[in-house]
Amino acid sequence: MEKKKKILTETVKARREVFIPEAINVANLSKVIGVKYEQLVEKMIELGMENTRHDYVLTSEEASLVVMEYDMDPVVDSVASLDLYPRPKPDDMSIYDVRPPIVTIMGHVDHGKTTLLDSLRKASVAANEAGGITQHIGAFSGIPLNTQYCLLSNTHLSLPSKKKITFIDTPGHAAFSAMRARGANATDIVVLVVAADDGVMPQTIEAINHANAAGVPMIVAINKCDKPNINTQKIKEELLRYNVQLEEFGGDTQAVPISGLTGMGLTELEENISTLAEVLDLRAEVDGTSEGVILESQVEKGLGNVATVLVHRGTLKSGSVIVAGTSWGKIRRMIDDKGKVVKTAGPGTPVRIIGWKDLPKAGDEMLEAQDESLAKTVVENRKIRATRELEMKDIEVIREKRQKEREEQLEERLKEKKFKRDVWEYYHGLRTTYPTMERGESKNQSSSEEKNPIIELPVIVKGDVSGTVEAVVASLGGLPSNEVRLKVIHSSVGAITEADVDMASACEGIVLGFNVKGDKQTMAKAKLKKVEVKSHSIIYKLLEDAKSMLARLLPPEYTTKVAGEAKIQQVFQINVKGRLTSPVAGCRVTNGSIMKNNKIRIIRQEETVFEGLLTSLKQVKMDVTEAKKGIECGMSFEGFDKFQEGDIIQSIETIEVPRQL
């Protein structure tokens, strides 16, 4: 039996096929099999391989041997394995040109990040953001040093250096955690903005964690220091609790008091950024194929698919063929942060690229391809691999489910066998009590789930930017789901269309738009098909709307309240038929009113002796529907005649209470 159980409980995992070319370097092999380079090196050393440098080229036989060690099936196929990978980093970076530092502005919502950037780039971005909250990642490249910026207080900044700095602005709302994480991972320096009048808040802590996880140095900008009664020392001490070691406390993190509104301290902040950039000695290859990362992507009217790319290495040129995730395109136009069309973009430069065949996702790695044929093949291979990986996950889930069912069946058979043995022992005098059959908890749990199924509300999410759509979907998935939940069946970038309405109608769902709307024809169709379409430009409002929609699906809750009270003063016997009599309670209403159709409760010495309905409510000899305070009336009760003088009668109203998540 133990052997049989061992066979049944053994989990057979699906083996993943890995396509490898005739030759592949160590760094690329680690990406193919999804293993960290350091771990792959350790495995290769275990196998007795001496050369484990990232650029060392392995033969297909050597690569296959390594792949099999990870319980994967290597398949040597040069076409199916064709892909693009970033170039290995050179050993000596000192021979390359210095590149602009990439600085990410992070912090809690409404702590002044966008206002700070406004002052730096002389553009009122904050006024264009819905509700004053930044909803997207924005990037711009400027030369703040030796450049005069006209600030709101007519203050001018003038510094001696001419170095270029690229700034990335990330949203501060909790829903955009993934976007902030990408911002930290694509940056050299994080400027953590903390409002002096507000202190360290949840998204401040989250930004600190992202920066630490990415291993990025930080500069703290204590904003809104122009306000009266500001205590910056308290903010600095508060940051210490979250492992931010400031210079004045023996650490290496600089803290600068600033005001994004008046320009106070911006000169010092820029000097600190430049000094830290010099210490980091940031360099990049200008020549060679370009590499970068997608910051945001969206569909724009008249332009089609547009993505903001931050170039990391090489020089991106107009007409180049590029690949990002499962999207590719030939650059038709590049637009810089000032709206000018440019022909080239070097390391550390953000540009908006027009010419994508499909919309890439925010966070995707951008790589340059030699030609369109290679780009198409790479994208096709990536799509096939993604499909296979999804299928493998589905297979694994099915196998685990079947394995669990087998284990439950085996456990049930063992219990049945034990029960039969116990019964035999009982009838042969070996047991004094008749045995009971034990049942597994899993069946009880499943039957409980069947009795109380979770109600799902299908939803289609549309947005203007891919990163925002991703953040909105993640936020909706984080809503409470113990009784009701949202099920995102489709999400994409672009305006709300008739196809979205048709999809929502088919699954009896809703459409949620973020910074996008439907045209008149689409909205008319939604009204005709009774599909609810909601559009918002502020994440708070969208989540509140989603919560209210879910709350409407919750089973109603009812509460009761006492609408009136009466006291039985005397019990009368009245003739019903012939000589038959029936008791009637002679009462006086002492509070509120007694309604005939309401539920009645009779209380005697603080204990409830009856709950039910009235059969009659009379004032003198007339039937009435209501008896108000001070009125004397007669009452009889459905199925109860044991009332006594002094009993308290309460009229109970049942009220439906709207539920909330």
Q: Do domains 102-145+162-280 and 291-370 have the same CATH topology?
A: no
Q: Is the pTM of this model over 0.75?
A: no
- Which CA distances in Å does 130 have to 136, 159, 362, 468, 514? 11, 34, 21, 14, 11
In this structure, the number of other CB atoms found within 10 A of the CB of residue 81 comes to 21
The length of the chain is 661
Predicted confidence at residue 90, as pLDDT, reads 82
Tokens in use for 456?
């799902």
- Which CA distances in Å does 356 have to 86, 340, 414? 20, 19, 61
Distance CA 611, CA 103 (A): 71
The CATH number, out of the four listed (2.40.10.220, 1.50.10.10, 3.40.50.300, 3.30.870.10), of the domain defined by the range 102-145+162-280: 3.40.50.300
| Nearest C-alpha neighbor of 349 from the set 295, 388, 280, 391 | 295
Residue that is written with structure tokens 């039957």 in the block: 447
CB under 8 A, 24+ apart: contacts of 38-47: 40/66, 43/69, 43/70
Predicted confidence at residue 182, as pLDDT, reads 61
Tokens in use for 540?
């708070």
Predicted confidence at residue 125, as pLDDT, reads 46
For the chain, 661 residues long, the average pLDDT of each consecutive 10-residue run is 42 66 87 87 88 86 89 82 84 85 83 74 51 53 42 33 72 55 73 87 85 85 86 86 85 87 84 89 89 86 88 92 93 87 90 92 88 92 83 76 85 84 82 71 46 80 85 83 83 88 88 90 90 87 86 81 92 79 90 91 91 90 89 91 91 81 67
| Nearest C-alpha neighbor of 119 from the set 148, 83, 77, 85 | 148
* In contact, 111 and 199? CB cutoff 8 Å: no
CB under 8 A, 24+ apart: contacts of 408-414: 408/440, 408/442, 410/4, 410/5, 410/8, 410/9, 411/440, 412/440, 414/1
Distance CA 44, CA 69 (A): 10
* In contact, 190 and 219? CB cutoff 8 Å: yes
Judged on CB neighbours under 10 Å (0-12, 13-18, 19+), 521 is exposed
Tell me, letter by letter, the H, E, C secondary structure of 435-482. CCCCCCHHHHHHHHHHHCCCEEEEEEEEECCHHHHHHHHHHHHCCCCC
Give domain limits for the chain.
16-76, 102-145+162-280, 291-370, 455-553, 557-657
In angstroms and rounded to an integer, the radius of gyration of the C-alpha atoms of the chain is 36
- What DSSP assignment string belongs to 351-417? EEEEEESSPPPTTPEEEEESSHHHHHHHHHHHHHHHHHHHHHHHHHHHHHHHHHHHHHHHHHHHHHH
Distance CA 300, CA 82 (A): 32
- Which CA distances in Å does 349 have to 109, 142, 344, 554? 26, 10, 10, 50
- Which CA distances in Å does 584 have to 474, 567, 581, 630, 643? 64, 13, 10, 19, 9
Predicted confidence at residue 661, as pLDDT, reads 67
Distance CA 221, CA 208 (A): 13
Q: Where are the alpha helices (DSSP H) in 539-657?
A: 539-553
The CA-based angle 601-606-607, given to 5 degrees, is 60
Predicted confidence at residue 367, as pLDDT, reads 93
Predicted confidence at residue 440, as pLDDT, reads 52
Predicted confidence at residue 594, as pLDDT, reads 92
Tokens in use for 635?
């009452």
The CA-based angle 640-644-650, given to 5 degrees, is 70
For 446-485, b/e burial (b = at least 16 CB within 10 A) is eeeeeeeeeebbbbbbbbbbbbbbbbbbebbeeeeeeebb
The CATH number, out of the four listed (2.40.30.10, 2.60.120.1060, 1.10.357.10, 3.50.50.60), of the domain defined by the range 291-370: 2.40.30.10
Helix (H, G, I), strand (E, B) or coil at 148: coil
Distance CA 487, CA 502 (A): 17
- What DSSP assignment string belongs to 203-221? HHHHHHHHHHHHT--EEEE
Output phi, psi for 219, to 5 deg.
Answer: -125, 130
| Nearest C-alpha neighbor of 186 from the set 365, 60, 335, 328 | 365
Give the fold, CATH level 3, of 455-553.
Rossmann fold (3.40.50)
> What CATH class is the domain 557-657?
mainly beta
* In contact, 248 and 257? CB cutoff 8 Å: no
Tokens in use for 479?
């809503």
Predicted confidence at residue 156, as pLDDT, reads 33
Distance CA 457, CA 476 (A): 11
Label the pairing between strands 599-604 and 648-657. Answer: antiparallel
Distance CA 410, CA 407 (A): 5
